[in-house]
Amino acid sequence: MLTVSATALDGVKVIVPAVFNDSRGSFCETYNRDRFFKHGITLEFVQDNESVSAPRGTVRGLHLQKHPAAQDKLVRVTKGSIFDVAVDLRRSSPTYGRWVAEVLSADNGKQLLVPVGFAHGFCTLEPDTRVVYKVTSYYSAENEVGIAWNDPDLAIDWPVAPGEAVLSDKDARLPPFASLPPVFD
């Protein structure tokens, strides 16, 4: 079985696959197209990505790709835990500029579905955290866009102080939300 729950932002969903435990350990079906389709999630994933972040407090994001390479993402954690964030960038949406967050961990098995029209980012809550995510479009450097993770206009309640966050040089230079041109109308 599969549990799919809506969030405060239309389209962003929390997915919890069933876990079957026995004396050997556990088994979990993390993705099954037919089961997802029964819940109205009719996406065609084309690429799987994986990141490993050594220090706690690593922030990756906020990232997205614009059309024609826009991506839906299905995010899960196989080791450790993250504070996972989706920001609504659909200009016509009543929740434009709002965000939702969910703690995803290897222990809780939750997954976050981040649809096209949202920026995505996360902060690691434990050292050596491994994040795996499926996407519906291939990576495209020329269509890659980002916004500053700690933008005060977004006011995301990150679990790390700005001076303690571990960022890539690229993520540290992302522009503010207010300078983002219309990406998703």
Q: Identify any residues that bridge with 133 across adjacent strands, giving them in sequence order.
A: 49, 75
**pLDDT at residue 169 greater than cutoff 90:** yes
Hey, is 143 helix, strand or coil? helix
Q: What is the pLDDT of residue 103?
A: 98
Contact call for residues 148 and 85 (beta carbons, < 8 A):
no
Indicate which residue of 31, 39, 63, 120 is catalytic. Answer: 63
Q: Which of 29, 73, 53 is nearest to 127 (CA)?
A: 53
pTM: 0.95
Mean pLDDT of the chain: 96
Q: What is the pLDDT of residues 119-143, one digit of tens each?
A: 999 999 999 999 999 999 999 999 9
Q: Which of 136, 120, 135, 110 is nearest to 49 (CA)?
A: 135
Q: What is the pLDDT of residues 60-112, one digit of tens each?
A: 999 999 999 999 999 999 999 999 999 999 999 999 999 999 999 999 999 99
Q: 185 falls in which pLDDT band (50, 70, 90)? A: confident
**Residue 63 known to be catalytic:** yes
**Dist. CA 165–CA 172, nearest whole Å:** 10
**pLDDT at residue 49 greater than cutoff 90:** yes
Is 44-179 a domain of CATH 2.60.120.560?
no
Domain boundaries, the chain: 44-179
The greatest distance separating any two alpha carbons of the chain, rounded to the nearest whole angstrom, comes to 54
- Mean pLDDT to the nearest integer, 151-180: 96
Q: What is the pLDDT of residue 1?
A: 83
| Tokens describing residue 50 | 């994986």
Indicate which residue of 67, 133, 138, 139 is catalytic. Answer: 133
Q: Which of 45, 2, 70 is nearest to 133 (CA)?
A: 45
